[in-house]
Amino acid sequence: MRATANYDRLLADLGATFRPQRHWVEGRGLLLILGHFLSGVGAGTWLFSLWLGYTPGLVLAVAVVAAAGLAHLFFLGHPERFWRMYRARTSWIARGFLGMNVFMAGAVLALLLPAGALRTLCLAVAVAGSAIIIGYKGNVYAASKGVPFWNSRVLPILYASYAIRGGLALLLVV
């Protein structure tokens, strides 16, 4: 019976009157959208570039994730308070922020270090960070109870597939 109620609510939501969300188009919301897109594409690019042994792709992935971090930072109302995200350990946004930092630290060091055990460790750290980046975005939206269409277990899988597909597409362009 519960599945039918959820389905009926989804149909009612889809049939609701359309109201444009101007903040996302005219305000700083576009920076958030850009940050989410670029972080996933950058993480996917890193994984494929590492798998293929393609160094220019690794460099591009770091640049794309760095641009995503800047987009997220400029989206904030008070960018100077970004460090407060570390305190919210149960927030998916905080986990994504941590993942971006872990990725950037590991990836930059891996690109700068010569071959060896330390570089291999940095590559593993970067892979872990990219996995967090790929996984956090879908969970941010899936945890949102305000929009029933987003509150779905499928969303994290969908966002992960977007990140992988976007990373591969970026490599095909380069």
Is residue 1 domain-resident?
no
CATH of the domain at 44: 1.20.1630.10
Would you say 8 and 20 are in contact if contact means Cβ atoms under 8 Å apart? no
83 within some domain? yes
**CB contact set of 23 (below 8 Å; sequence gap of 6+):** 29
170, burial (CB in 10 Å: exposed 0-12, middle 13-18, buried 19+): buried
SS3 137: helix
pLDDT in tens, the chain (174 residues): 566 777 777 777 777 666 666 666 667 788 888 998 999 999 999 999 999 999 999 999 999 999 999 998 888 878 888 887 777 777 888 888 899 999 999 999 999 999 999 999 999 999 999 999 999 988 888 887 777 777 788 889 999 999 999 999 999 998
Domain-located, residue 154:
yes
Domain range for 70 is 30-173
In a domain, 156, yes or no: yes
Domain count along the chain = 1
Q: Does residue 134 fall inside a structural domain?
A: yes
Establish if 41 belongs to a structural domain: yes
Decide if 12 is inside a domain: no
| Predicted TM-score (pTM) of this structure | 0.82
